[in-house]
Amino acid sequence: MSRIIPIAVHTFKESVREKVLYSLVLFAILLMAAGILFGTISVGVNEIVLINLGLTAISVFGLLIAIFIGISLVWKELERRTIYNVLSRPVARWEFIIGKYLGLALTLLVNTAMMTAAFYIVLWWEMGRLGAGDLAPLEAIYFILLELALVVGLALLFSTISTPVLSAIFSFSLYLVGNLLDDLRDFGERSGSAAVGLLARGLALILPDFGAFSAISQAAHGQMIPAYRVLSNSLYALLYVTVLVSAAILIFEERELQ
Amino acid sequence: MSARPPIVVILTVALAGSVLLRGQIHRAALAAELEPVVYVRSGETLRRFSLGYEGLLADFYWTRAVQYFGRERLAGNSRFERLDALLRATVALDPHLLIAYRFGAIFLAEKPPAGAGRPDEALALIRRGIGANPGYWRLWQDLGFIYYWDLRDYRHAALAFEAGSRQPGAGVWMKTLAASVAAQGGELDTSRLLWTEVLREAGNDTIRRGALEHLGAIKAAQDITRINRALDLFCQQRGHPASQLKDLVQAGILAEQPTDPSGVPYVLGLDGKAALGPGSRINLDLAR
Amino acid sequence: MWAVETSALTKDYRAGFWRNRSQRALDRLDLTIEPGEIFGLLGPNGAGKTTTLKLLLRLIFPTSGHATVLGRPVSDLRSHARIGYLPENPSFYDHLTAAEFMQYAGWLAGLDSRTRRLRTGELLDRVGLAASAGLAVRKFSKGMVQRLGIAQALVHDPELLILDEPMSGLDPLGRRQVRDLILELRRQGKTFLFSTHILSDAETLCDRMAILDRGRLRGSGSLREILGAASSATELILENPQPAALDALAHFTTAAVRTGDRVRLEIAAEADLPTVLRTALDADARIVALNPIKLSLEDYFVARLGSRENASGPIADKSSVQAPKAEAARR
């Protein structure tokens, strides 16, 4: 059990060395700062724009990092044969997978924290004050983190089966579809064929529901998210991540290391 | 022999060519009115494909709307055809972007050249805003305003002000206004109440200036009425009309030479009624 | 208790585009390795050596058969704490330094932080990488990588070492050092199982060995047992012998090769030696040398496995002189 920690720490350190990570974070921060200019070309939406832009940047760049690093998490170790260093030790395959997941999750947590700090600095700079009323974005950021946890799980799962390019495509596609589940369900209900309807409605229940986590617009209007929604989303994320990581473990347990 | 010089030349020529061509294409597009304004068929579709980023997209569309409005106004273009579509896209993406409803309604309702002169579209927008934000009293205020000022529908205006006065945080004067409109819709005093309130909470120079202009016109109109009454009184007392406004001052009917809010003294018109002096910046149409 | 025991261990791979054809990489291997011995796994490329080692470490799974390592079935990962593995062409995390990698390896093996640090320093020194401890692995030469590989296999002081081509990439000095290291560690009681296709290494190091060819076990045991009775032959080298002399000796000779003015004769039966010598002397043949033939593993390979890549040097032209026995039989 305790082998998970060295693997997680190692994965974290390795991810943090990725130069792309820094470029993306820097870009996100620049974008937030540019949000200050945004307010001057529009009317009356200064604070709203800053929050929308900042949170969108945190979400989008977090997504990019999660997918970019996630898709080669397992694949790289297999491809470069460094996996032998790990699995020849008393390390179970499931420990390897969970360690990898936690390492990347930690990386994203640190990134998001950095971007959140930058966000609040920009907000404070522009609005001249920072108070209890500015906590709403934190809730949205929490939801973003939950989303990222799911995306990392997806990327990890695909990383055990396919090459990085395919994994990236699948992960992005699932993220897209996961935001359109309501439409999928509507489509199923309105479809003429019973089989298609059943399939569509079934898929809408099984595929990851990313739409449930969107709270950026609410945060921009200073609305706090009701507690029950925070709880249910947290639970959903936990369960779904468990599903994804378990699937990855199942697949990896059968994998022969040529 | 180095390949550098010829390659540099080729690069420069190609860049110049592409820049010129870009300019051409852009001019042709403008001429054909294929302006790069993103046209939207359905706000709902747009919202769906925003993947959770609809807040930012709404801000983007709002900015587009503002810029479009500004650009068209500067160009003296009073049609503002795409304004409604842009505003509808904005609020479809963010139904709680209150400023889009409020300013949008003003842009739509104001008579040209200041606005699009489409009070019915403005009404639809405000109603939509109320539907998504029923507790926000200012939207009711705006609704009442449009009914009052642009449609002269004093009954509905009074109802709107009344409904708004019952919402949380509503200004106390809303009730007064509702009563006033119900009793004397169209009276200058009522209008002044309205515009005073608009001026007070104006968050933007354009609106502030507009409110001041309206208030100035209303004041001027009321002044003129007052001066005309004074003229009548003079005629009754002296048995002949005054030849100039100074007479009224001498006769003690008026305390001093009246000047309009723009600082220009009123004059006696050829028809024997008070009128704005030459060089006055007041536009009396704005009183109505 | 055996250090390693396999019983009918078999591995099939699915080949072909539709994965419908089966390719047998290892066929019912039975093997035992005693604790404290150095055991060699030999064979040409593709014989199944790496497959066997990977099966023992559960990096791949057997199609049928069993194997135990240090008394536990292969599926029990606990034995990994007592096994050190060096894969063929090892690759490590490029971005780490040698010391960082060793620490990570130690951590994974379950060592505490103090032990990790100590062992890292010790082992890097032992394999001659002390000066490169702070160098990124990315910058290592092949020889350095190999040394690091040996160090990481030893970081947790394992009982059993499973090494796939441990000498690969090392210069002669390096190979000598590794050889000495293996011998020294064996003296401490460790068991070694290593695969190689360098036969001289196997000859000098291994107590016992197994020879694989195309997935099948072709022979196992000590060097003596494998080479068998064929090692009792003798070579007789004559200078400028008369044809008459050669004819006289033809009866005893199993092979004859002429090189310049020397002729080398192989005499199969040791018992014939006295007669052969007398015959040669009687014929006034000039005897240059009389040596027992040490049949080398290489010869064994060439003969039994018929693989060209295992022989080095020119192939002796054994057909230049007729097989004398057959000639004699015809007369």
Q: Is the pLDDT of residue C268 over 60?
A: yes
Length of chain A: 258
**Closest Cα partner for C27 from C69, C58, C55?**
C55
Angstroms from A175 CA to nearest CA on chain B: 9
Name the one residue in this structure whose structure tokens are 């209303």.
Answer: B218
For residue C79, which residues of chain A lie inside 8 Å, CB to CB? 90
Lowest mean pLDDT, pick from A42-46, B44-48, B133-137: A42-46
Mean pLDDT of C195-221: 88
**Closest Cα partner for A66 from A133, A151, A2?**
A151
Q: Do C80 and A90 touch (CB under 8 A)?
A: yes
Residue of B nearest to A140 (CA): B52
For residue B103, which residues of chain A lie inside 8 Å, CB to CB? 43-44
Angstroms from B241 CA to nearest CA on chain A: 53
> Which pLDDT score, from 0 to 100, does residue A208 have?
92
Q: Is the pLDDT of residue C300 over 80?
A: no
Q: Does A170 touch chain B (CB under 8 A)?
A: no
pLDDT tens, residue by residue, B214-224:
888 888 888 88
> Which pLDDT score, from 0 to 100, does residue C194 have?
94
**Which among A100-104, B203-207, C4-8, C260-264 has the top mean pLDDT?**
A100-104
Of C60, C89, C109, the CB nearest to A257: C60
Of B49, B52, B63, the CB nearest to A214: B52
Strand order in the sheet with C253-259: C253-259, C262-267, C234-239, C286-292
Of B51, B59, B103, the CB nearest to A48: B59
Mean pLDDT of B248-268: 85
Q: Do A43 and B67 touch (CB under 8 A)?
A: no
Please state whether A11 falls in left (phi above 0), alpha (psi between -120 and 50) or beta.
alpha
Angstroms from A49 CA to nearest CA on chain B: 6
Q: Which amino acid is at C44?
A: P
Of A6, A14, A258, the CB nearest to C107: A6
CA B189 to chain centre: 20
For residue A81, which residues of chain C lie inside 8 Å, CB to CB? 87, 89-91
Q: Is the pLDDT of residue B288 over 80?
A: no
Q: Which residue has the higher pLDDT, B232 or A8?
A: A8
Q: Is the pLDDT of residue B35 over 80?
A: no
The two tokens of residue B229 are 């009454």
Compute the distance between CA of residue B161 and CA of residue B145 in angstroms, rounded to an integer: 8
Q: Does A14 touch chain C (CB under 8 A)?
A: yes
pLDDT tens, residue by residue, C42-95:
988 888 999 999 999 999 999 999 999 999 999 999 999 999 999 999 999 999
Q: Do A41 and B103 touch (CB under 8 A)?
A: no
**Closest Cα partner for A205 from A190, A191, A185?**
A185
3-state secondary structure of C157: coil
Please give the helix or strand (H or E) that residue C72 lies within, else none.
strand C72-73
Q: Do B54 and A41 touch (CB under 8 A)?
A: no
pLDDT tier for residue B30 given thresholds of 50, 70 and 90: low
Taking a C-beta distance cutoff of 8 angstroms, is the pair B57, B93 a contact?
Answer: yes
DSSP C248-266: HHTTTEEEEEEETTEEEEE
Residue of C nearest to A258 (CA): C60
Q: Which amino acid is at A183?
A: D
Mean pLDDT of B95-118: 88
> Which pLDDT score, from 0 to 100, does residue B39 have?
52
Of A44, A59, A217, the CB nearest to B94: A217
Residue pLDDT tens, chain A, 258 long: 689 999 999 999 999 888 878 888 888 888 888 887 876 777 777 888 889 999 999 999 999 999 999 998 899 999 999 999 999 999 999 999 999 999 999 999 999 999 999 999 888 888 888 887 788 899 999 999 999 999 999 999 999 999 999 999 999 999 999 998 888 888 888 887 888 888 888 888 889 999 999 999 999 998 889 999 999 999 999 999 999 999 999 999 999 988
pLDDT tier for residue C329 given thresholds of 50, 70 and 90: very low
Interface test with C, best of A7, A82, A89 (most C CBs within 10 A): A89
The two tokens of residue B257 are 């030479």
Q: Do B62 and A42 touch (CB under 8 A)?
A: yes
pLDDT tier for residue B210 given thresholds of 50, 70 and 90: confident
Compute the distance between CA of residue C274 and CA of residue A131 in angstroms, rounded to an integer: 110
> Which pLDDT score, from 0 to 100, does residue C323 have?
40
> Which pLDDT score, from 0 to 100, does residue A138 have?
94
Of A80, A82, A90, the CB nearest to C77: A90
> Which pLDDT score, from 0 to 100, does residue C308 have?
45
Mean pLDDT of C273-293: 85
Portion 92-151 of A in contact with C at CB < 8 A? 92
Q: Is the pLDDT of residue B37 over 70?
A: no
For residue A18, which residues of chain C lie inside 8 Å, CB to CB? none
Q: Is the pLDDT of residue C309 over 60?
A: no
Portion 2-61 of B in contact with A at CB < 8 A? 48-49, 51-56, 58-59
Q: Answer whether B touches A (≥3 Cβ pairs < 8 Å).
A: yes
**Which among B13-17, B96-100, B172-176 has the top mean pLDDT?**
B96-100
Mean pLDDT of C156-166: 95
Give, as one character, the DSSP assignment of residue C214.
T
pLDDT tens, residue by residue, C58-72:
999 999 999 999 999
> Which pLDDT score, from 0 to 100, does residue A101 have?
97
Compute the distance between CA of residue C152 and CA of residue C145 in angstroms, rounded to an integer: 10
Q: Do C93 and A90 touch (CB under 8 A)?
A: no
Compute the distance between CA of residue B107 and CA of residue B99 in angstroms, rounded to an integer: 12
Please classify residue C330 by burial: count the beta carbons closer than 10 Å to its beta carbon, then call 0-12 exposed, 13-18 middle and 19+ buried: exposed
Q: Do B59 and A60 touch (CB under 8 A)?
A: no
For residue B56, which residues of chain A lie inside 8 Å, CB to CB? 49, 52-53, 56, 216
Number of A–C residue contacts, CB under 8 Å? 64
Lowest mean pLDDT, pick from A12-21, A225-234, B116-125, B168-177: B168-177
For residue B66, which residues of chain A lie inside 8 Å, CB to CB? 41-43
For residue B52, which residues of chain A lie inside 8 Å, CB to CB? 59, 179, 210-211, 213-214, 216
Compute the distance between CA of residue C113 and CA of residue C125 in angstroms, rounded to an integer: 19
Q: Do B99 and A43 touch (CB under 8 A)?
A: yes
Q: Do B55 and A210 touch (CB under 8 A)?
A: no
> Which pLDDT score, from 0 to 100, does residue C119 have?
94
> Which pLDDT score, from 0 to 100, does residue B217 have?
87
Listed as own residue / partner, the contacts of B30-34 with beta carbons closer than 8 Å and 24 or more positions apart are none
Mean pLDDT of B203-208: 75
Residue of A nearest to B54 (CA): A217
> Which pLDDT score, from 0 to 100, does residue C184 have?
93
Chains sharing 3 or more CB pairs under 8 A with chain A: B, C
Average confidence score pLDDT of chain C = 85
> Which pLDDT score, from 0 to 100, does residue C330 have?
46
Q: Do A256 and C59 touch (CB under 8 A)?
A: yes
> Which pLDDT score, from 0 to 100, does residue C325 have?
45
Interface test with C, best of A88, A253, A254, A258 (most C CBs within 10 A): A88
Taking a C-beta distance cutoff of 8 angstroms, is the pair C279, C262 a contact?
Answer: no
What is the percent of chain B with per-residue pLDDT over 70, rounded to a whole number? 92
Q: Do C107 and A257 touch (CB under 8 A)?
A: no
Portion 52-81 of A in contact with C at CB < 8 A? 80-81
pLDDT tier for residue C232 given thresholds of 50, 70 and 90: low
For residue A258, which residues of chain C lie inside 8 Å, CB to CB? 60
Q: Is the pLDDT of residue B111 over 60?
A: yes
Q: Rounded to the nearest 5°, which phi and psi values hold at A126?
A: -80, -40
Of A80, A88, A91, the CB nearest to C91: A80
Q: Do A44 and B203 touch (CB under 8 A)?
A: yes
> Which pLDDT score, from 0 to 100, does residue C324 have?
45
Alpha helices in chain B (DSSP H): 4-31, 43-48, 54-74, 83-93, 98-109, 119-132, 137-145, 154-165, 173-184, 188-201, 205-238, 245-250
Chains sharing 3 or more CB pairs under 8 A with chain B: A
Q: Does A19 touch chain C (CB under 8 A)?
A: no
